[in-house]
Homo-oligomer: A and B are copies of this chain.
Amino acid sequence: MTDKVRAAVMNGPGNIRVAEFPYPKVAPGSALVRMEMSGICGTDKHMFKGETVHPGGQESAFPIIPGHENVGIIEELGEDAKSLEVEGRALRVGDRVVPICDVTCGQCYVCRTSFGLTTSCERDVGYGTTLSCKDPPHLFGGWAEYMYILPHAMLAKVPDGVPAQAAVMTEVMSVPFCGFNKAMSPFPLGKEGFAPGDRVVILGAGPLGICHAILAKMCGAEEVIVVGAPKYRLDLAKSICADYVLNIDELRDPAERLDEIRTLTDNRGADLVAECAGVPEAVSQGLDMLRVGGTLIVAGNYIDMGPTPINPQKQILSKNARIIGVNGQTAASYAGALRLIKRHLRQIPIDKMVTHRFRIEEAETALKTGISMSSMEVVIIPK
């Protein structure tokens, strides 16, 4: 045990450095997690570049210890902290866990009626993004040796046999887990929404996009087509889960990509398109790729990057289209994502997503490597 806890602190856009905090005393109902690994998310890159408006208009709460895609080992459990597990399972010191990255109030209109859509809680704060590290116990992000779990936060127990390098993808995987569940056809026999056997297009070849491609495959999609760049990422996508990839560095004109998609889908368009690109135009391009009666998931435009023109008649009404905004995930979906990761570990090597590892001291290099796009999931490992 140590006196001091090292962490990477982002003090503002472009400014990240190592700091030390006191090793905390664990209060009742709380826990301390010894970090194994913490991913770099698109949001982290946005914040570093100064794009700081989160959903609901919340601002990044600098100074921040970044890191909300986490996995670690329970080091200490406060008194009465057994209820922290997201499905009510017993917890013990030494358990591998994925912390749920949002802390919700449990009492507002959304919490009471929307069943754990954590990021929409009226008083939601997020580890590593909108929860500042300036006040004790400080350790509210994963790019650190330890993370402090507040009484209303939750932990998802990692099933036996799932290594840290797969578990670190849980938070990202829980987004498509929720998105596909919301898109699931209410009456799949009627070809509304997603159903096993469908053809799926993913726009965006970063970690969020590939996790959507993985989930589509896990849920029985017939065909998964990833549209993005660069070649490095698309090659990795193919080796993990994609049936087809379209490189936008080569097919630069959206009309060419649309032609390809139509060719790959009996000239009908995709049953489901998931926007994971984070740029507004992708929404319009995705609508064009849908078949009549298809569904578009909007999951990538997490940071406000402005408006884009949409034609309501051609792109929505004429198509009987459904568009579903997915702002984050439920707490319970972490457990669901972990079950799927375990189930498919042999067929779908999700651990290959982690392409680069850095130490806390290398956080800035890690961020730049993530931004370079010659990487997929970049992680911080304390030691």
Contact = CB atoms under 8 A, between A and B. Distances in A.
Given A56-B318, A187-B190, A312-B308, A331 B195 contact: no
Interface residues of A, number: 88
Given A88-B107, A293-B120, A336 B197 contact: yes
A247 interface: no
B332 A325 contact: no
A331 to B, nearest CB: 7
Contacts of A88: 107-112, 122
Nearest to A110: B292
A339 B197 CA distance: 6
A307 interface: yes
B304 A339 contact: no
B190 A113 contact: yes
Given A55-B318, A88-B109, A303-B313, 7 more contacts: A83-B106, A112-B332, A114-B320, A117-B320, A280-B311, A280-B313, A320-B326
A326 B318 contact: no
29 contacts: A55-B317, A88-B107, A88-B109, A110-B293, A112-B331, A112-B332, A114-B292, A115-B189, A116-B189, A117-B320, A184-B184, A186-B186, A186-B187, A189-B190, A190-B190, A197-B339, A197-B343, A220-B340, A275-B312, A280-B313, A299-B317, A301-B313, A303-B313, A304-B311, A317-B326, A318-B325, A318-B327, A323-B323, A347-B347
